Structure 1
Amino acid sequence: MSQTEHRRPEAGIFASGKPFFVGCNYWASHAGTRMWRNWDAASVEADLAALSKAGVQVIRAFPLWPDFQPLTAHTTWAQTFIEMRFGEEPLPDTPAGRAGVDEVMIERFRCFAELAERYGISLIVGLVTGWMSGRMHVPPAFERVNVLTDAQAIRWQVRFVRYFVETLKDCRAIAAWDLGNECNCMGIVASSDEFWNWCNAISSAIRLADPVRPVVSGMHSLLCEDQPNRHILIADQAETTDILCTHPYPLFTPHCRIDPVNTMRNAFHAAAETRLYGDVGNVPAFVEEAGSLGPCLSSERVAADYLRNMLWNSYAHDCRGLLWWCGHDQTELPHTPYDWVGMERCLGLLRTDRSPKPVMEELGKFGRMVAELPLPAFRRDAVCILSQHQDQWGVGYLSFLLAKQAGFDIEFQYADQPLKSSKFYLLPSVTGTWVISRHRWMELLHAVEEGAVLYVSSDNGSLEPFTGPFGVDIEYVAKAAAPGRIVNAARGLDLSVPAEFLVRYRNRCGEVLAEDGEGNPALVCNRYGRGLLICCNVPLETALVEMPRIFADGKPEYYRVYQLLAELAGVKRNVTRQNPALTLTEHEVDADTLLVVAVNNTPEELTDTLHAPGWKLVDAPIGPAPDAEGVLRLPRNTGAVLRYQRS
């Protein structure tokens, strides 16, 4: 068992084979973040009743840190610390007092959990909630303190978490403990070691108090290389927690706020990011927060289409569940962050009168549809290796999308991880002088010698050995004066690929699959042992990551390069289609039964013909079925589950 493999005997709602769940993040409609100090049980019950009736199955809830641990530091000369108090009152000589916890708040949370159980809602509890929607919330004792690294602040967080979990673990509605809401936003760490220590302290406190329920990461995006907390790593989160999560908002995630939210790029944002986390971390991952971020960014109809498409793709790609942000609109609240941030006021599934929006109707409908049909694992045909010193998210995202268009699915890993077993590898858009360590590179070349196919595209990256195995010499590398080209007249390929550098190949012994328009090789295939090495002199994936509308009808068909790669790798799917916007995942039930999830990733109705030689369509458990000729018609941004039997 690897150190990041799941360590619990039971992952609860996140376990493989459990139904895909739907729900939301929650703050009370009457008070938002002030719900605990302005507690109104009747209003909260009305909220939960409305959410449950509309189809919410899981809620992520937040015991706001300063409300539950309202510590004030009392100091003497030169701010020398003496003791913690509740305002002016000494801490009670009780377990709660020694943990600095307000017992009234604990009982309010218990009431909340009992109400959730009454309405059939499971809870994920974000424990250290010091960051929320653009505002910090910390006990008075820790104002202007880096609560991720300060030893005293961490001691009191551990005491709070240990007491909270120990006291409330008997609440049957609680399905999982979350470290807290986007705790990587609570302070800046100087190294991955500092944040690992914080995560390990909080996770250990949870596990000591409750060794049964899984621990969820709860972090904001781990993808932004230019963010202050770039030291917070997927692998570290997987080591210290049991379940990883994504918060895939197009507005905040690199390379996503480019196309309309109801088109292909964003239809796969949540699924691609969640698979990246789960694959690299080797633990379950789910979509913990998602949303269109209000009417200033999309209409209610478009937001509903976006959610429906995101749900279908998350379901098909083993993302375990999806929670919307958030339960209710907060248009009438005068306090911050709602007074500061206009975007935060209109993000609910329900309006202020608790009437459902179109997104709520879509979420509830989807949850009911898939409740009785958990999917087996989906087929993966290739391993995408993300190398060092590149934009790993951008390159991985585009590789995922090009593979989907080309009709196959990929699994992610990082170049410094042990090589995953496969017959088909992608090493896309390698850049710089630190691409992959020699021992990992030799391991990969050995896999090719044994029969695998490896594709490498160049963003001026250094690999050694390269020229011998790949059958080409690199004549020179220089700044590009014009976009690169991938031309194969016989296949109808003529693709313009913007690139910062021109890498000029001279072919020695390989098969030239495409030229650059000037007679020079651009895509070359060479036999290596029992396998194939394929090199491309332009960074196809990097070039497309910021290019708008590349997945729309009538745009250059860049995915056809990946189709060619799949052919050379011998990828043969059981069920195929023609339109690249119609994507398929295959889920083997047994040797003779196959479920296929077909998804239309466009805002228009789509018609295509499915081919399944050797298989007979039995039925469509969800959605429309193809006709006798295999013609499938899918409404915009929606999908279907098709059942085939071996014929």
Structure 2
Amino acid sequence: MPPAVRFGVNYTPSQGWFHHWLDFDLDSVRADLDAIAALGLDHIRVFPLWPYFQPNRTLIRPRAVEQLVALTDAAAERGLDTAVDGLQGHLSSFDFLPAWTRTWHRRNLFTDPDVTAGQAAYLRTLAAALADRPHFLGMTVGNEVNQFAAGPHPDPDPVTADEAGRWLTRMLDACAEGAPGRLHLHASYDAAWYQDDQPFTPAHSARLGAVTAVHSWVFNGTAQRHGRTSVPAEHHAAYLVELAKAWADDPHRPVWLQEVGAPAPLVPAEHAAAFAEATIGNVLDCPDLWGITWWCSHDVSRTLADFPELEYSLGLFTGERRPKDIARVLADAARAGHRAPAARRTALVVPAAPDRRSRCAPGGDVFDAYFRLVADGTRPTTVLDTRADDRDHLAARGITDVVTPGQVLPALRGGTRS
């Protein structure tokens, strides 16, 4: 029997957002966790803010680490496992980088030897502090750290793909040194799959770490182009799960939908539950799914300034811990059980070359062909063009038919699709 799909939520504290680490209130955390556990979820993902935990390269605050352990223990008391992100990094449009990497101390986050030594020490310390906790799942190196490596970030830390791979390997090794045998991974936002010049590549995501993480947000052009109830919008998360499989060396490598949400106004509040139900149902039809972790648990308080408007209302709960309809959708899915889906027999060919990733993005021919197949009733997966004739690879994944975007889409006539 395959393992059960995990259902969880990214924990955003109801009081103080992630700034709660500055005024840590375990009773408030416990009340938040009570609400989450009542939904029948089995895990949370938590975010220590890096500058608060490591304000100096050689100072990792013991009290902050103790608070992280206390939060993990409180979650365990409620039957919740905890996954911990390390290098925060970037959250909800804000960057959280320690002063020893910026301005007068400006050093590259991925290649400077002092910075990378400090990062490794920090990740190792957090992992070691939790290593003896049975409800600790493992570390994610950081939240969408690839956004620091290239545009559209306004002040990127340039890095090559080889350098990014070496950095990820070193950080994952540090996590494993602190807590051997746990589920350690890294996470990129969708530029890793869609942006031609992004140095963090699909191969990094699909081959480094214990599982592949994907983050699905339809504000990337999908909902704008196609609408919230369209096939591309409601299947976008499933698309990323299946797209990730093309680069994996293990034919059954697990994929974790580590972030997915219903962003207003593209998905208005009154339609969020329906969007969640469709998204979750479609993702559950993906083989080798590790789990679904919704973004996020609690709304951001309107007393906090300068967030993008959509960030305030993404929670399953209001700031007063009242569940929304979308919370009930996730609870129903978690409690319903899940039968492992059949293999996806049809594979769409995708380019292996990193500088052709934009073909997979909204507006690209791979993207359009995939959703044409879905609309026509096919359950597609993907395969690299370099593996499309590899019979052993195809057989291991249960693939019996391989098609190219050109075979799926209508012929181009006069420069437009007819």
The two structures have a TM-score, normalised by structure 1, of 0.57
Counterpart of 1:154 in structure 2 is 116
Helix, strand or coil for the counterpart of 1:123? strand
Q: Which of 197, 205, 218 in structure 2 is aligned with 1:250?
A: 218
Deviations 1:297-321 (A, max 9, x none): 3332311000001111111113332
Deviations 1:419-457 (A, max 9, x none): 23354221223xxxxxxxxxxxxxxxxxxxxxxxxx587
Within 5 Å, give how 1:214-293 maps onto structure 2: 214-221=183-190, 222-225=192-195, 230-252=198-220, 254-281=221-248, 282=250, 283-293=253-263
Q: Which runs of 5+ in 1 are unaligned?
A: 1-15, 72-83, 85-98, 430-454, 461-479, 484-496, 499-647
Counterpart of 2:154 in structure 1 is none
CA drift of 1:458 comes to 9.4
Counterpart of 1:399 in structure 2 is 369
Counterpart of 1:315 in structure 2 is 284
CA drift of 1:172 comes to 2.0
Within 5 Å, give how 1:376-391 maps onto structure 2: 377-387=341-351, 388=353, 389=356, 391=359
2:147 aligned with 1:203: no
AA aligned to 2:195 is E
Counterpart of 2:7 in structure 1 is 22
Aligned partners of 2:16 and 2:301 also within 8 Å: no
| Residues 186 and 225 (structure 1), Cα distance of their counterparts in 2 relative to 1, 3 Å cut | closer
Counterpart of 1:473 in structure 2 is none
Deviations 1:37-85 (A, max 9, x none): 11011101000001111233221101111111110xxxxxxxxxxxx5x
Structure 1 vs Structure 2: percent identity of aligned residues?
21
Counterpart of 1:168 in structure 2 is 130
Deviations 1:442-501 (A, max 9, x none): xxxxxxxxxxxxx587989xxxxxxxxxxxxxxxxxxx5364xxxxxxxxxxxxx24xxx
2:53 aligned with 1:68: yes
AA aligned to 1:232 is F
2:36 aligned with 1:51: yes
1-side partners of 2:24 and 2:365: how far apart?
47
Counterpart of 1:36 in structure 2 is 21
Deviations 1:227-272 (A, max 9, x none): xx512111122332121111111102x4443233233221111001
- Point out the structure with the larger helix share: 2
2-side partners of 1:425 and 1:137: how far apart?
44
2-side partners of 1:122 and 1:293: how far apart?
26
Counterpart of 2:81 in structure 1 is 122
1-side partners of 2:303 and 2:144: how far apart?
23
AA aligned to 1:346 is S
Helix, strand or coil for the counterpart of 1:408? coil
Aligned partners of 2:359 and 2:367 also within 8 Å: no
Within 5 Å, give how 1:628-647 maps onto structure 2: none
Aligned partners of 1:245 and 1:286 also within 8 Å: yes
2-side partners of 1:130 and 1:183: how far apart?
6
1-side partners of 2:15 and 2:81: how far apart?
21
2:318 aligned with 1:351: yes
2-side partners of 1:332 and 1:255: how far apart?
28
AA aligned to 2:3 is K
Helix, strand or coil for the counterpart of 2:405? strand
AA aligned to 2:347 is V
Within 5 Å, give how 1:617-632 maps onto structure 2: none
AA aligned to 2:291 is G
1-side partners of 2:134 and 2:227: how far apart?
41
Counterpart of 2:152 in structure 1 is none
2-side partners of 1:237 and 1:317: how far apart?
18
2-side partners of 1:382 and 1:210: how far apart?
39
Helix, strand or coil for the counterpart of 1:164? helix
2:404 aligned with 1:481: no
2-side partners of 1:313 and 1:340: how far apart?
30
2-side partners of 1:211 and 1:148: how far apart?
24
1-side partners of 2:178 and 2:2: how far apart?
27
1-side partners of 2:90 and 2:198: how far apart?
18
Aligned partners of 1:274 and 1:287 also within 8 Å: yes
The two structures have a TM-score, normalised by structure 2, of 0.87
Aligned partners of 2:277 and 2:329 also within 8 Å: yes
Deviations 1:514-552 (A, max 9, x none): xxxxxxxxxxxxxxxxxxxxxxxxxxxxxxxxxxxxxxx
AA aligned to 2:129 is T
Within 5 Å, give how 1:170-185 maps onto structure 2: 170-185=132-147
Q: Which of 52, 60, 65 in structure 2 is aligned with 1:106?
A: 65
1-side partners of 2:120 and 2:90: how far apart?
17
1-side partners of 2:256 and 2:63: how far apart?
33
- Point out the structure with the larger strand share: 1
2-side partners of 1:111 and 1:374: how far apart?
35
Counterpart of 1:133 in structure 2 is 92
Counterpart of 1:546 in structure 2 is none
1-side partners of 2:345 and 2:139: how far apart?
34
Helix, strand or coil for the counterpart of 1:218? coil
AA aligned to 1:175 is L
2-side partners of 1:278 and 1:259: how far apart?
24
Counterpart of 1:566 in structure 2 is none
Equivalenced residues, count? 390
1-side partners of 2:267 and 2:223: how far apart?
14
Aligned partners of 1:190 and 1:231 also within 8 Å: yes
Which structure is higher in RCO with an 8 Å CA cutoff and minimum separation 6?
Answer: 2
2-side partners of 1:427 and 1:301: how far apart?
38
1-side partners of 2:242 and 2:261: how far apart?
18
Helix, strand or coil for the counterpart of 1:35? helix
Deviations 1:79-99 (A, max 9, x none): xxxxx5xxxxxxxxxxxxxx5
CA drift of 1:149 comes to 2.5
AA aligned to 1:204 is D
Aligned partners of 1:136 and 1:186 also within 8 Å: no
Deviations 1:323-377 (A, max 9, x none): 121111112343xxx424222222111001100011101111111112xx341x4
